[in-house]
Structure 1
Amino acid sequence: MPLLERLQASKHVDQIFISVGSTLSLEKKIDGLVESSPIDFLKDQWQGNNKLIFVGSIGAVVRLIAPFIRSKENDPAILVTDSKAKNVITLLGGHKQGGDRFASELAAALEAEVICTSDSFTESRIPLDCFGEGWGWKRGGGGVGWRKLMISQSKEQKNIVFQSKGSKLWQQLKGCSNFSFLEKNDPISFENIDLYIGQENRNKCSWHPPTIIIGIGCERNTDEKVIQRAINQSFNQNGLSLLSISGLATIDRKNDEIGLLSLSKTHEWPIYFFSAFELSKVNVPTPSNVVLNEMGTPSVAEAAALLAGDHRGRLIQNKQIYYSKEEESGAVTIALVELENPFAPHKGELHLIGSGPGDLKMLTSDSRQALTRCAVWIGYGPYLNYLESIRGHDQIRIDSKLTFEKDRCQHALDLAKQGVKVGLISSGDSGIYGMAGLALDLWLNERLDSRPLFEVHPGISSFQMAAAKLGAPFMHDFCSISLSDLLTPWNQIEKRIKSAAIGDFVLAIFNPKSIKRDWQLKKTVDLLLECRNPSTPVAIARQLGRPEESIEIHTLETLPFDRVDMLTILVIGNSQSVIKNNKFLTPRGYFSN
């Protein structure tokens, strides 16, 4: 596929521009292509929040963009790739504008090499000025301060970090070994801190997790600037940063309040709406009969803020009324709730990633791309070990044990609700006896406005790998059955085995045997022998895609049970399956006529 089409298919580009006249050299027409002169294109697109991908030589791109370059704070991220997409290079905006991370994601999608020359990338340091984005935090502080901090980090000087809010998992990364993490009661003045992470407004380099819910009540048609001023005054009074806002909360009768909706859109603050009935059930310190008579609940601002925080926050500002000035209209009531943990599901992402059998060559492009995107990887330890060589130095790994699947999924979902980009990893395909079902079940139990992005990324299952190694065993109708009765009663599993036997399905048997569960496989074979010839071929495929891989061919009659364990998948043929020249074939019926 031509590069421009690959870029379009990767979903990493919103618009493709091409210089005037160059469309004549294209092999085929591309929908949505815009012709423009390079100068006009740059004039229109040179904005700090943009990411621009150029296809061509670095020298030509440098000369083209040189007149537009102003500062790290305002210039866009600039990426360059060659016409064959062999390399993706970050030229500008690697940190603040997210160029390095975007280049890694794009390279994974295009199966290209990523080339980043920033100090943090080459020296495997934590990029202090951009790492918080992956955790759902917002950056505060001036450009001069950040430049000094990054220079200090590049010189391997000790950096002092104080964190009062947000997940501290990132502190476990190897790249944090040169940081000094302060606790609340450590005897050091705040002026000596290099990086602050919390909700307070500090005049220094800072990251702000979203931990403040703003409860709002207002008169009909209150001006947007009145609401904004009330929020500003509330935050100033409490020493809080506006960058720590999690969202707004109010009664559903305000879902058409123009000033409120406009404010939400301007700042990208989500609004959580609640009914009068829901709000009336919340205990608040300052209920009002006037509000009760008018709105059907004794509290709007306080109750909505507490409800949006799922009753896990504490009021740090009881409701206060702020009035409009001359030539303004309306009045607004503000209450503030501080959350123990950040809450930003609209920023969070939960990626269910199938890592395949184990060999990285079998990792799908989609799964690799998702892994690159996530700040946190969660999975069963041995499965994560197979991916360790591609884990970034700024990506945290959380190992889980077998039988702790629900805890694993809940932890991943909780982090994603905080605004974190999380990869929940299964071997094979996460939708085939993996974590996708359990994670989706938990996700669906969340209220709609508490759900982070949920995506499933397919992987190569062990039964597909077994089929490829064996020949063509699944060329006719087949089914997969797990013999584990931890979650499914054995009598139900037995019914499925009998039905598959009667229906003459080829079978893929997962979880055939464990140390504590050693009789089900013998019972399965006995059930199958009631309908099938003892000479029916059976393949034992163990540790597929891993250094210990082994494959053996037996029959139902000669199957050695002692050579089967939880790392094995069995392939059991149907009445037509044969072994020829050591290849497992289930004919489709093409030659039957």
Structure 2
Amino acid sequence: MTTSPAIVILSDAALPTGRRIAEALGGEVHGLARRVADGADLGFDDTGAHLADLFRQGRPIIGLMAAGAIIRLLAPHLNDKLREPPVLVVAEDGSAVVPLLGGHHGANDLARRIAALLEGVAAITTAGDLKFGVALDAPPEGWVLANPEDSKRVMADLVAGGSIRLEGDAPWPTESGLPFSTDGDVVLAVSDTAVAPPANGLLYHPKTLVLGIGCERGADGDEALKLALESLTEAGLSPASVGLVASIDVKADEAAVHHVASHFGCSARFFDAATLEAQTPRLKHPSDIVFAEVGCHGVSEGAALASVGASGELIAAKRKSRRATCAIARAVEPFTAANLSGRARGKLMVVGIGPGSNGWRSPEVSAMVSASTDLVGYSLYLDLLGPLTKSKTRHDFDLGKEEARVRHAMELAGEGKSVALVCSGDAGIYAMATLVFELLDKSDGPEGLTAQARRIKIAVSPGISALQAAAARAGAPLGHDFCTISLSDLLTPWEDIKRRVTAAGEGDFVIAFYNPVSRKRRTQLAWARDKLLEHRPTSTPVILATNLGREGELIRIVPLGSLNVDDVDMLTVVVVGSSNSTTVATGDGRSWVYTPRGYARKEGTAMTQVGTQISGDAA
């Protein structure tokens, strides 16, 4: 899930303002497809459904639309004030910014930032924010309010003239306009221990605790979590103050470590053996056995201490279960995204962007690209992402060099980065996803991947393939059995390709030919044409689809017997119909290709009965 805001616009007129906001906040412009011709990062067709989806994701929403419209559209989805994301409306000319929901969850701050950017007015209506400049139910990053249900009453008491006293150490309340007094009747308590909230106030837990976790390979996640919870209880510490889970880098892909981090809703960070070994003088239980196995004298204590630095302290020594260890350290300052040490487990997101146009790129792919720090791909494919590449580090590659491209992406992820490996079409169809797993499978040896690159997290997201795009543009040629064959003999022997073309011809499959020609390779498509003519009529329709979904798109339908290799280039997908494929014309004179679903030869079906309707579950 991404927390970058979605700037929702309904017309081209709102695009300049929406783009300014997106660039300033690191967000995306989402445009209503039928009204926003170009320039949006993501298109949508149904405003209500799109807003509801963003809201359910917890995504901050900034709507350049009427306040009444967004209120009516989101009203059915309001059910939990404490979990609602920020929702704001902005006047199209930028004159007014109104936080509607989530004022204490960032909406008020966003409103002020946007108003300053657009030289408009932020219409803040939250009483506490107006009077004291602080929202007690929305502490800053690194802090957790233990009893949010009491915040409304406490703020009402303060607005009515009450005074407040601080028990513990927290800089952010004292920097506000709150009425502090040594004998204040309202208490703000700060503690990382397991204590009850004050009867007349609020309790805040700073996220200053780190759990150092060690475990055997394949250890059960619930065992490690149970040990962590028992360690906190024995030390009298609050689970809400856990801000980090840490371990040695060889455990970066260990499910048990990530299971513990997921339970506490925090990041996991990893350190190499040398960094942990430097903590040996501070360890309570150094072990020569551990040193012999991983190169440092302590994993759980060492990782906890490395996370908090020289100013932090170990407050709970290593405890053991059957296959895991846990130690706890306390940092001087709460953990935030900006001050985490160690290395995250890197993530490689292999994404298919379809033909490259916004409308044909899935929301999941757009979200993955947005969440990445680095983009790796052929330069043209990265260019097709348009504004989504902003603030990302690009790693451009020429066409070809696929293994170098994938290896580079995996090694970047091994450094702890979030990397999007960008492919056209679908990432798993004649694209880079396969090579990712090939490299993992053959990663041993001097030419293999580094150990860090083998421990990355991998996600693959589908895209519209050239095959699907060509079929949709031309009609429904894939209505029955089909196959795909690459005519490139760079990786596949030509004899194998010939055998596959022959088999597909004999089997009467609809065939999509990828890589039909190149500058130097002009004979394979002609051979395939002649071979298929042995099995299907010369009138068999062939679709030539060029520049699908992009400027210069060209769809041609020709008979198989007239297929001319010179009409095909490297950006063309060739789809050859089966012996049953045919064309049909619509009233506007356009021809379409379709392949019957198989009923044409089946006795007693609707297709053999004149005047009967089409039957079947797909009709």
TM-score, length of structure 2 as denominator length: 0.50
Partner Cα separation in structure 1 for residue 479 and residue 270 of structure 2: 51
Partner of 1:488: 492
Equivalent residues of 1:250, 1:304 under 8 A apart: no
Partner of 2:85: 52
Superposed, which structure 2 residues align to 1:148-547 within 5 Å? 247-249=246-248, 268=266, 270=268, 295=289, 298=292, 302=296, 343-345=343-345, 348-388=346-386, 390-391=387-388, 393-442=390-439, 451-547=455-551
SS at match of 1:501: helix
Cα shift at 1:299: 6.1
SS at match of 2:518: coil
Change (3 A) 1:296 1:496: same
Cα shift at 1:333: 13
Change (3 A) 1:54 1:577: same
Post-superposition CA distance 1:127-186 (Å, at most 9, x none): xxxxxxxxxxx99xx989xxxxxxxxxxxxxxxxxxxxxxxxxxxxxxxxxxxxxxxxxx
Counterpart AA for 2:357: D
Counterpart AA for 1:508: A
Cα shift at 1:457: 2.6
Partner Cα separation in structure 2 for residue 587 and residue 262 of structure 1: 54
Partner Cα separation in structure 2 for residue 545 and residue 523 of structure 1: 29
Counterpart AA for 1:376: D
SS at match of 1:584: strand
Cα shift at 1:546: 2.3
Q: 1:570 aligns with which of 570, 574, 584?
A: 574
Counterpart AA for 1:52: P
Equivalent residues of 2:290, 2:296 under 8 A apart: no
Partner Cα separation in structure 1 for residue 260 and residue 564 of structure 2: 70
Partner of 1:165: none
Partner Cα separation in structure 2 for residue 372 and residue 403 of structure 1: 25
SS at match of 1:557: helix
Partner Cα separation in structure 2 for residue 430 and residue 493 of structure 1: 22
Partner of 1:92: 109
Cα shift at 1:568: 1.0
Partner Cα separation in structure 1 for residue 431 and residue 119 of structure 2: 33
Matched, 1:583 2:592: yes
Change (3 A) 1:549 1:271: closer
Equivalent residues of 2:261, 2:268 under 8 A apart: no
Change (3 A) 1:516 1:55: same
Cα shift at 1:10: 7.6
Change (3 A) 1:516 1:60: closer
Counterpart AA for 1:420: K
Equivalent residues of 2:212, 2:328 under 8 A apart: no
Q: 2:106 aligns with which of 77, 84, 90?
A: 77
TM-score, length of structure 1 as denominator length: 0.52
Counterpart AA for 1:457: S
Counterpart AA for 1:585: Y
Cα shift at 1:435: 1.8
Cα shift at 1:368: 2.8
Partner of 1:592: 608
Identity percentage of aligned residues: 29
SS at match of 2:545: strand
Which structure would you say has the larger RCO, counting Cα contacts within 8 Å and 6 or more residues apart?
1
Partner Cα separation in structure 2 for residue 121 and residue 526 of structure 1: 68
Partner Cα separation in structure 1 for residue 495 and residue 119 of structure 2: 55
Post-superposition CA distance 1:95-144 (Å, at most 9, x none): 9xxxx9xxxxxxxxxxxxxxx5664999xxxxxxxxxxxxxxx99xx989
Cα shift at 1:498: 1.4
- Unaligned runs of 5+ residues in structure 2 are 1-45, 60-70, 121-140, 143-170, 174-210, 216-226, 237-241, 318-324, 330-340, 444-448, 586-590, 601-606, 610-619
Q: How many residues matched?
A: 403
Equivalent residues of 1:357, 1:427 under 8 A apart: yes
Partner Cα separation in structure 2 for residue 587 and residue 267 of structure 1: 52
Cα shift at 1:302: 1.1
Change (3 A) 1:548 1:4: closer
Equivalent residues of 1:216, 1:250 under 8 A apart: no
Cα shift at 1:514: 0.6
Partner Cα separation in structure 2 for residue 351 and residue 398 of structure 1: 14
SS at match of 2:469: helix
Cα shift at 1:453: 4.2
Post-superposition CA distance 1:490-549 (Å, at most 9, x none): 222222211111110111111001123222212222322232223322222222222222
Cα shift at 1:570: 0.5
Post-superposition CA distance 1:203-250 (Å, at most 9, x none): xxxxxxxxxx98989xx999779999xxxxxxxxxxxxx99x993239
Equivalent residues of 2:270, 2:344 under 8 A apart: no
- Unaligned runs of 5+ residues in structure 1 are 15-24, 36-40, 70-74, 79-90, 101-115, 123-137, 145-212, 229-241, 335-340
Change (3 A) 1:263 1:57: closer
Change (3 A) 1:331 1:439: closer
Partner Cα separation in structure 2 for residue 284 and residue 395 of structure 1: 34
Counterpart AA for 1:592: T
Cα shift at 1:481: 0.9
Post-superposition CA distance 1:314-337 (Å, at most 9, x none): 9xx9xxx98989xxxx99899xxx
Cα-Cα RMSD: 6.0
SS at match of 1:456: strand
Superposed, which structure 2 residues align to 1:13-28 within 5 Å? 13=58
SS at match of 2:405: helix
Partner of 1:7: 52
Change (3 A) 1:331 1:424: closer
Partner Cα separation in structure 1 for residue 111 and residue 412 of structure 2: 25
Partner Cα separation in structure 2 for residue 13 and residue 392 of structure 1: 23
